[in-house]
Structure 1
Amino acid sequence: MLELKHITLSYTANKQHNAVLRGLDLCLDHGQIACLLGASGCGKTSVLRAIAGFESLDGGAILLDGQLLSDCHHCLAPEHRNVGMMFQDYALFPHLDVTANVGFGLRRWEAAARRRRIGDMLSLVGLDGQAKRYPHELSGGQQQRVALARALAPQPRILLLDEPFSNLDVDARERLAFELRDLLKAAHCTALLVTHNQAEAFAVADRIGILKNGCLAQWDTPYGMHHHPATPEIAAFIHREAMLSRRIQAGLRGAPHGAPTAA
């Protein structure tokens, strides 16, 4: 469904040409959930911005369902791509209630169809009783669900998620990661998310890509990534992060209520 063919992307700042993506290739099938995993500055968000049409490519091509979205000569405008994006800070409108936020991208729909779609999305994310509440009246997890419902409402061909759990506390992240996967699968949605958190990637994704210096170091299933890392560096990264996560969880379980924990 999604094809990134040897894409390159760079930014110019202070007269310096900085390459961010260097010949990146990946393919994603219909209904799959994929995750790009890597440290800050490795190019994860730039991949999403290029797919969404917010950045132009220096080289390579991006195709969605066989349609050319971008290459070095052509960049289809974001509003013509039918690509949904859920931002890191959720970007909910504080002056609009849940219903209006979810229906924001449906303004051209007929009123009856719009109401049905909003109702369906609120049911999908389990917020039927919150329709008239405002973002400041919701928990972080509920705000995330509203943002997801809003992104899914226009029926995008693919959904892009930028660090969707970064605003949540440690206890909520793993639980909501599994819930997000279930919601995306229930909506039959193809999705690509980025994160620096390995536990989130393994909880959500069908395919994981390790991104390093603007290139894919490995693109594999979670099982393949864990049991057959492509390089010693990836093996060290996977096992180090897994061990740290287990230590943090053990510390949280063993600490008295309200006591600080150390990693």
Structure 2
Amino acid sequence: MAKIILEAIRISKSFDKPILSKINLKIKEGETHVVMGKSGEGKSTLLKILAGLTATDSGEVLFEGKELENPEEVLVAGHEELAYVAQNFNLLHNRTVLENLKDSLLAFNDDFAEQQINQLLQLMRLTEVKFHKIELLSGGEKQRLAIARALATQPAVLLLDEPFTQLDFPTRQILLDAIKEVKNELDTSIILVSHNLYEAFYLADIIHILKNGDIIKSDQPKTVYDNPEFISVANILGEVNLIPKRTLGNGQNELLGVWSENILIDSEDESKYQLKLKLTEKLFIGNYYRYQFQLSRNQSLIVKSNQSEFKVGETYNVVFPESHLFELKED
């Protein structure tokens, strides 16, 4: 059984206002954790505290059971086993990729340094640009180099602050695959901040949803998706339809949620929850059509489907499979 390698115990932090409040978090060896939440919820602050770069107001962070030193009381903040990669990359300019990696390994013998450099160039897909100066690299290449530098000394935990920001999809996918390979090859624990559901589900063993300074939901990706529990969690994860139970003829004030991709149109599904609704909008979004139905005077229903035959202005039987409905509440 994997041991707990990094643990946050009731950590709180305020600046002009409270940012984090009594956060508890446990990271096991080899796990990937993704922290999600709206902008300004304290995700980056939490990451820096876990890396030993920002002091807490209260609570403690333990690495392998030992409390991290207060970063305000040491000459150099951080911990050698906790590698933090900021959004600004922090690379050595006017140097090549190879020189950047060598700089991270100055304290190690030549044989180890050469072995690490070759492995990281391969893992981060940088072999073909190893002699290129930083100024000639793309954004994706700079991001992969920043991660390679962080991994050079074989840290136990890699902390990434929104590593996919401003990357196009092909470049983002290369980085996603590289991070997954790092986990598999090096058994590194990874904690990253992301706003993107695809990124989170592609990488995460555990997803944490941060709101108002607290982690309101933590679980495996499929569990969070199948039962987000709170309206705010569902809104962070994707396009959710909020439907009063009474609209489906069952219940009073209870609120049901269903993902737009799980609703069926003119299906033979035998769910007891079905409505006749008028189609008001149809948009082609690449790999699916986005249909908008009129659910009530003030509410629309969104359905994502790969079926193209439905026409605006027509009325269709909209089916809500019971297995895809979940109860939601305010948090």
Normalising by the smaller structure, the TM-score range is 0.7 to 0.9
1:79 CA displacement: 4.5
Counterpart for residue 66 of structure 2: 67
TM-score of the pair, normalised by structure 2: 0.67
Counterpart for residue 22 of structure 1: 21
Query: Structure 2: which 5+ residue stretches go unaligned?
Result: 241-258, 262-283, 289-331
Structure 1 position 150 matched with structure 2 position 185: no
Cα distance in 2 between the residues matched to 1:71 and 1:92: 26
1:83 maps to amino acid: L
Cα distance in 1 between the residues matched to 2:182 and 2:47: 21
The answer to whether the 8 A contact 2:97-2:133 is kept is yes
Query: Structure 1: which 5+ residue stretches go unaligned?
Result: 12-16, 245-249, 255-263
Q: Which structure has the highest helix share of the two?
A: 1
1:216 maps to amino acid: I
Cα gap change, 1:216/1:39 in structure 2, threshold over 3 Å: closer, same or farther? same
The answer to whether the 8 A contact 1:70-1:76 is kept is no
* Alignment deviations for residues 157-196 of structure 1 (CA, whole Å, 9 cap, x no partner): 2110000000312453345324422333222110100012
Cα distance in 1 between the residues matched to 2:220 and 2:236: 16
1:101 CA displacement: 1.2
Counterpart for residue 8 of structure 1: 12
1:225 CA displacement: 0.7
Secondary structure at the counterpart of residue 239 of structure 2: helix
1:252 CA displacement: 4.8
* Alignment deviations for residues 184-237 of structure 1 (CA, whole Å, 9 cap, x no partner): 322211010001222211111111000001110101110111012132332343
TM-score of the pair, normalised by structure 1: 0.83
Counterpart for residue 83 of structure 2: 84
Cα gap change, 1:160/1:243 in structure 2, threshold over 3 Å: closer, same or farther? farther
Structure 1 position 160 matched with structure 2 position 159: yes
Greater Rg by CA: 2
Q: How many residues get paired?
A: 244
2:26 maps to amino acid: C
1:50 CA displacement: 0.8
1:66 maps to amino acid: G
Cα distance in 2 between the residues matched to 1:26 and 1:106: 31
Secondary structure at the counterpart of residue 164 of structure 1: coil
The answer to whether the 8 A contact 2:144-2:175 is kept is no
* Alignment deviations for residues 93-117 of structure 1 (CA, whole Å, 9 cap, x no partner): 2211111112222111123322222
Counterpart for residue 175 of structure 2: 176
Counterpart for residue 200 of structure 2: 201
Structure 1 position 51 matched with structure 2 position 50: yes
Counterpart for residue 118 of structure 1: 117
2:10 maps to amino acid: H
Cα distance in 2 between the residues matched to 1:187 and 1:110: 20
The answer to whether the 8 A contact 1:9-1:22 is kept is yes
1:2 CA displacement: 1.1
Counterpart for residue 135 of structure 2: 136
2:106 maps to amino acid: R
CA root-mean-square deviation: 2.6
Q: Once structures 1 and 2 are overlaid, which stretch shifts more, 145-154 or 78-87?
A: 78-87
Cα distance in 2 between the residues matched to 1:162 and 1:143: 14
